[in-house]
Structure 1
Amino acid sequence: MPEYLHSPMETRTDINVTNKSPSFGSLLQWSQWQLLDSILPTGGFAHSFGLEAAVQARIVSGPEDLRTYVIHLLENTGSLLLPFIYSGTISPDMQTWHRLDKMLEATLTNEVGRKASISQGSALMRVASAVFSEIPSLKIMRETSLATGSVAFHHAPIFGLVCGLLGFDCEISQKAYMFITMRDIISAATRLNLVGPLGAAVLQHQIALVAEDLSNKWMNRKVEDACQTAPLLDTVQGCHGYLFSRLFSS
């Protein structure tokens, strides 16, 4: 039978027989992409990073205000959280993770943001330990930590831990965290009708240049150097729980 008359099932069988098994490194690369995929159910889209409260407080009322808010949020993320991503990536072990978690628990003063960090971190650890089965230590660390109750499961240290175990280098892991923060805040802006889907895509592309500069500015710092650069954002997010009606959890 001519090759072009083969059925799809026959062709698929031939491919499965002839292809070589993928290497462990290749599988890790697919896992790295999946970690950054918005479809991964880690709960990031349930939070607005204080944007909803800022809208109701009239701090953000238009495209320029939104752009400024996103940039300040990225600056604050870089200064406060990238040190935890960096340390978690270069030392992806349970002892380092627990130490970073306790330090971040003591550093966060905003109760709304603290609960959001724990919610997202718990979801990320649960999903990562179930999905990335090629790294059994994730499941072991999660089960051990749940049994002892010794950590709060904050998001940034867990993200750094997972990135380190998935083979990210420290530069990529820190930029990846900035990327998902930018992605999630602009998604929140879209659902709050501050910008349309096309405008959101344009805004994300434009702010990527700023995000690159901010990432480089705050990259590879020790957790002892973590700090707030935009305290107003922290204050506004803390007001989220007082909103009469709200779409997001934080």
Structure 2
Amino acid sequence: MNSNSPSQTTALPTLGFADEWLMWQLADSAFPTGGFAHSGGLEAAVQTGAVPDVAALEAFCRVSLTQLARQSLPLLRAVHAEPERLPTVDRQCEAMLSNHVANRASRSQGRALLLAAERAFAHGRPAVGRLRDRVRQERLPGHLAPLFGAVAAAMGLDGEASARLFTFTATRDLISAAVRLNVVGPLQAQALQHALGEAAAAAIAHAPVDAMEAASAAPVLELLQARQDRLYSRLFHS
């Protein structure tokens, strides 16, 4: 058979493109996970004067990346590698997030992700549909990091690609919040997001793999997050 025939030249690229297409859809800001309703503590940091300018914003983003890599990625990776561990890891996340604002935000986004994934992808991927039933039946908290790992595994996404996607969307949401808080303009925000790429890659590379090694790496960030409910006026839930 001719090596340039359609049956040989399109089989493998079609599979790769399908995976990329799914990744792009999950990374799209139109995918309704609820992330844009949260600032990850940035709003409180701005109002208390901890983030007065772009330089401070970049430092805040870098600390947030470290916190995400040390606290959330080990939970995501554990569930992605062994989806049956979801109840244990989800309850571990519930115990770790003693900060009530961060805990509430994580549960809200986790459940929004699960609902969006079920509505968008359950057809042809029954494992995605079963996830929501499991969370409801076992009365799990439904935190974002472990559910992201479970959803990604159910859709056949690679583990490290899932970790990169999770890190990208969290950073994108944080920088979007900075734009809406008038800390930075849209074009400068894109330059900042690009500049954070190496820091994000390093954070992912050095993140613990074992869920039992997950821990908070930024106590000041947690204190700022906890102040959200005490702000006189606010745009975000967290």
> TM-score, with normalisation over the residues of structure 2?
0.90
Partner amino acid for 1:207? L
Question: By how many angstroms is 1:129 displaced?
Answer: 0.9
- Retained in 2: the 8 A contact 1:36–1:180? yes
Question: 2:28 aligns to what SS in structure 1?
Answer: coil
Match of 2:237 in 1: 249
Partner amino acid for 2:222? D
| In structure 2, distance between residues paired with 1:245 and 1:114 | 21
Match of 2:135 in 1: 145
Match of 1:197 in 2: 186
| In structure 1, distance between residues paired with 2:68 and 2:222 | 11
Match of 2:6 in 1: none
Match of 2:25 in 1: 34
| In structure 2, distance between residues paired with 1:54 and 1:31 | 34
1:173 aligns with 2:154: no
Question: Percent identity between the aligned chains?
Answer: 38
| In structure 1, distance between residues paired with 2:207 and 2:150 | 19
Question: By how many angstroms is 1:209 displaced?
Answer: 1.1
Question: By how many angstroms is 1:98 displaced?
Answer: 1.4
Question: By how many angstroms is 1:150 displaced?
Answer: 1.9
| In structure 1, distance between residues paired with 2:150 and 2:63 | 26
- Retained in 1: the 8 A contact 2:79–2:149? yes
Match of 1:128 in 2: 117
Unpaired segments ≥5 residues, structure 2: 1-9
Match of 1:54 in 2: 45
- Per the alignment, do residues 71 and 135 of structure 1 end up closer, same or farther by CA in structure 2, a change over 3 Å counting? same
- Retained in 2: the 8 A contact 1:82–1:174? yes
- Retained in 2: the 8 A contact 1:98–1:150? no
Paired positions, count: 227
| In structure 1, distance between residues paired with 2:156 and 2:133 | 22
Question: By how many angstroms is 1:173 displaced?
Answer: 1.3
Match of 2:222 in 1: 234
1:101-129 deviations in Å (ceiling 9; x for gaps): 11100111110000000000000000101
Structure number, greater radius of gyration: 1
Q: CA RMSD in A?
A: 1.8
| In structure 1, distance between residues paired with 2:14 and 2:126 | 17
- Retained in 1: the 8 A contact 2:23–2:165? no
Partner amino acid for 2:66? E
Question: By how many angstroms is 1:142 displaced?
Answer: 0.7
